[in-house]
Amino acid sequence: MPILDPRIDEYIANSAAFAQPILIHLRQVIHAACPDVEETIKWGMPFFLYHGMLCHFASFKAHCALSFWKGELLVAQDDSKGREAMGQFGRIASLKDLPPMKTLAGYFNKAMTLNTEGVKAPSRARPKVARELVVPDYLIAALEEQPGASEQFRAFSPGAMREYVDWLTEAKTESTRLRRLAQAVEWIAEGKQRNWKYTNC
Model confidence pTM above 0.75: no
Query: What pLDDT is attached to residue 124?
Result: 54
Q: Are strands 64-68 and 45-49 parallel, antiparallel or unpaired?
A: unpaired
Query: What pLDDT is attached to residue 82?
Result: 43
* Alpha helix (H) residue ranges in the chain: 6-13, 19-33, 79-84, 101-116, 137-145, 149-155, 158-169, 174-189, 196-199
Alpha carbon distance 184, 167 (integer Å): 9
CB atoms within 10 A of CB 39: 19
CB 73 within 8 A of CB 114: yes
The pLDDT tens digits for 33-67 are 999 999 999 988 999 999 999 999 999 989 999 99
Positive or negative CA dihedral for 193, 197, 199, 200? Answer: positive
The pLDDT tens digits for 68-106 are 988 888 776 544 344 455 788 889 999 999 999 889 989
Q: Is pLDDT at 167 greater than 60 in this prediction?
A: yes
All domains of the chain, ordered by start, with CATH?
Answer: 6-116 (3.90.1150.200), 137-194 (no CATH)
CA nearest neighbour of 4 among 34, 22, 27: 27
Alpha carbon distance 115, 166 (integer Å): 47
**3-state SS record for 67-101:** EECCHHHCCCCCHHHHHHCCCCCCCECCHHHCCCH
CA nearest neighbour of 58 among 27, 100, 96: 27
CB 184 within 8 A of CB 164: yes
C-alpha radius of gyration, the chain, whole number: 28
Query: What pLDDT is attached to residue 122?
Result: 67
Alpha carbon distance 82, 85 (integer Å): 6
Query: What pLDDT is attached to residue 87?
Result: 80
